[in-house]
Amino acid sequence: MPITEMLSRNARVYPNEIALIEREPAVEGRREITWRDFENQANQMANALLARGVKKGERAVILLMNCLEWLPVYFGILKTGALAVPLNFRFTAEEIRKCIDSVEAKVLVYGPEFRDRIEEIRTLLPSVETYIFVGEGCPDKVEIYTEFLAKFSTEDPGINLKDCEDAALYFSSGTTGSPKPIILTHTNLVSACITENRHHLQNHEDNFLCLPPLYHTGAKMHWFGSLIVGSKAVILRGVSPRWILESVSEERATIVWLLVPWAQDILDAIESGEVNLADYNLEQWRLMHIGAQPVPPSLVQRWKKYFPHHLYDTNYGLSESTGPGCVHLGLENIHKVGAIGRPGFNWEAMIVDDNNQPVPNGKVGELIIRGPGVMKGYYKNPEATRSVLKKGWLYTGDMARKDEDGFIYLVDRKKDVVISGGENIFPVEIEDYLRAHEAVKDAAVIGMPDRRLGEIPVAIVETRLQKEITEAMMLEYCEALPRYKRPRQVFFDRVPRNPTGKIEKPKLREKYCRKREAF
């Protein structure tokens, strides 16, 4: 069935139960909608778009910060048979223009945070026929979301949707190049619901606290595990340790998906006395899980010290696999922290060499995956599609190894491997080691051009507040590493991460390596 049917079913079975809650702690704001309200808004959105001439297969862009309207807009677009195209809220005006132009979007739904950026490029968007504004301060000649919907019926538009049909375009994160639009079908989206629910065992009584941006497959596909059982979710606008703990406490959240920096911030706030766990009701919080990036084992050890009853899981995935879950650790495998896990429910995984042959346990190769969440392909880019989809397998570009128990350990991005004097150096291994230091909040390792060795590893270290450390101290700490893996230099700086937690290494290379590229 198409994923829209799950929403319609919840509206029939749980019409008066709360589906979504929005909290905006900065202004003490709180809103909520029931499953019936959610369905009605989605139907009105669909009927409004159809009245504007939107047809099956056309594209509608969503450019919103997390808010209560986000998901009704998304499902409204899907109900027309058009493709929903969520965009990264960090994109510049020019990046937004390029994305809209590349998919020839007919509709643009955006919020006040993007007003200036859209005004800057509005005359350069020839494909866009309908602009819809969600929030206060609507520009001239743009539809106001609430007024746009109010004119139309809450009845389902009745568009016949098939499982195999395209549902959405998600742009890749762009950490290794220009973002590419990825085609996901209704089958892909439904498979994410099933896999996520099997992994984390959501039931109707659960409450999922959603912090990461909904434009990305990670946050939304984790919420899909709640959608399939009709359980509520909280959308938190703004992230801080106090706001997260208050939301868990006051909304009785049971599941929270964190990125590594947020988990570290919570632990730092506890240890500094900024927050006192005794001030919150947290006994119902059963699961903390992390995805989108490698998780330092030291972080989980610290976490269990303060939350010993928590179940823990980590998930691996990419937009090309309909988000997280193609590999996951498993609630029962906390003893394997450091691994990303084993193939997820309904998934297969292999590690292969450059000749596409499986490598022995313990040897590093490229991780490839196969399952119902593998994308249809890159939008209007058959060459890029052929480069990563081969005989049903998705080539992830991630280097990994497998232990004797079948657990997979992520080593690094294929493009991030540092080759120094003929030796392959995997930055993630060094980054994990650096983060274990008590003064280190975050760390990134990149290859710096070197005349003699080709590249040398250098570290960018972000320190904890009130912790003093020097480059000499860090280099001494690294002497426990094999000589070829030791960073040759240490720079103290903020480690930039995108909204899903991935280190933005192109930015670091631009800042620290560009002046040496002529060597």
377-378 and 365-370 beta bridge pairing: unpaired
| Tokens at 41, concatenated | 């808004």
Position 292 in a domain: no
Instruction: Name the band, by pLDDT with cuts 50, 70 and 90, for residue 509.
Output: confident
In a domain, 412, yes or no: no
Task: Report residue 173's pLDDT band, with 50, 70 and 90 as the boundaries.
Answer: low
- pLDDT at 500 exceeding the cut of 70: no
**Taken in order 497, 500, 502, 506, is the CA torsion positive or negative?**
negative
Name the amino acid, one letter, at 121: I
**pLDDT class of 518 with cuts at 50, 70, 90:** very low
Locus of tokens 């690094």: 412
Helices 427-435/297-306 angle, 10° precision: 30
User: 517 pLDDT exceeds 70?
Assistant: no
Is 191's pLDDT higher than 70? yes
State which of 162, 187, 212 marks the end of a domain. 187
Q: How confident is the model at residue 90 (pLDDT cuts 50, 70, 90)?
A: confident
What is each CA distance from 122 to 87, 90, 93, 215, 216, in whole angstroms? 16, 18, 10, 21, 24
Instruction: Enter the tokens of residue 408.
Output: 């997979």
Note the Cα 70 to chain centre separation in Å.
Answer: 16
Tell how many helices (H) and how many strands (E) occur in the chain.
15, 27
Q: What is the pLDDT of residues 35-88, one digit of tens each?
A: 999 999 999 999 999 999 999 999 999 999 999 999 999 999 999 999 999 998
Per the structure, the complete domain to which residue 99 belongs is given by: 1-13+25-187
The amino acid present at 183, given as its one-letter code, is I
The reply to whether 144 falls in a domain is yes
Rounded to the nearest 5 percent, the helix, strand and coil shares of the chain are 35, 30, 35
From CA 299, how far away is CA 279, in angstroms rounded? 23
Cβ atoms within 10 Å of 162's Cβ, excluding its own: 11
The Cα–Cα gap between 137 and 119 comes to 13
Asked whether the predicted pLDDT for residue 463 surpasses 80, the reply is yes
Which of 187, 207, 222 terminates a domain? The answer is 187
C-alpha dihedral sign at 206, 212, 214, 219:
negative
Q: The whole model's pTM is what?
A: 0.84
On whether residue 442 sits in a domain, the answer given is: yes
Q: Tokens at residue 5, please?
A: 């049917």
pLDDT beyond 80 at 465: no
pLDDT in tens, 277-300: 999 999 999 999 887 666 778 888
Structure tokens given for 396: 């992830």
**Cβ neighbours of residue 374 closer than 8 Å, sequence gap 6 or more:** 188, 320, 321, 322, 389, 392, 394
What does the H/E/C string look like for 203-266? CCCCEEEECCCCCCHHHHHHHHHHHCCCCEEEEECCCCHHHHHHHHHHHCCCEEEECHHHHHHH
138 within some domain: yes
**pLDDT at residue 488 tops 50:** yes
Residue 350 lies in a domain: no
CATH number of the domain that residue 457 is part of: 3.30.300.30
Tokens of 422: 């003929």
106 within some domain: yes
Q: Which residues, in sequence order, are CB contacts of 459 under 8 Å at separation 6+?
A: 430, 434, 443, 444, 445, 474, 478, 487, 489, 490, 491
Do 373 and 339 contact (CB within 8 A), yes or no?
A: no
Q: Which residue has the higher pLDDT, 230 or 212?
A: 230
Chain-centroid distance of CA 460 in Å reads 23
Contact of 257 with 216, CB cutoff 8 Å: no
Q: 263 lies in a domain? A: no
Band of residue 338 on the pLDDT scale cut at 50, 70, 90: confident
Residues with Cβ within 8 Å of residue 80, at least 6 apart in sequence:
46, 49, 50, 54, 55, 56, 60, 157, 159
Domain boundary among 168, 187, 206: 187
Strand-pair category, 181-185 with 166-171: antiparallel
- When divided into structural domains, the chain yields a total of 2
Cα–Cα distance for residue pair 312/247, rounded to 1 Å: 19
pLDDT confidence of residue 176: 47
Identity of residue 503 = I
Residues 6+ apart with CB under 8 A from 357: none
pLDDT in tens, 234-253: 999 999 999 999 999 999 99
Token code pair at residue 198: 């099997």
pLDDT of residue 132: 98
Can you read off the two tokens belonging to residue 185?
């079908």
Q: What is the 3-state secondary structure (H, E, C) of 209-226?
A: EECCCCCCHHHHHHHHHH
3-class SS at 100?
A: helix
Q: How far is CA 324 from CA 30, 313, 380, in A?
A: 29, 12, 24
Output the average pLDDT for the chain: 91
CATH number of the domain enclosing 8: 3.40.50.12780
| pLDDT band with cut points at 50, 70 and 90 for residue 270 | very high
**Nearest residue to 104 via CA among 88, 127, 131:** 127
* Percentage above 70 pLDDT, the chain: 95
Residue positions counted in the chain: 519
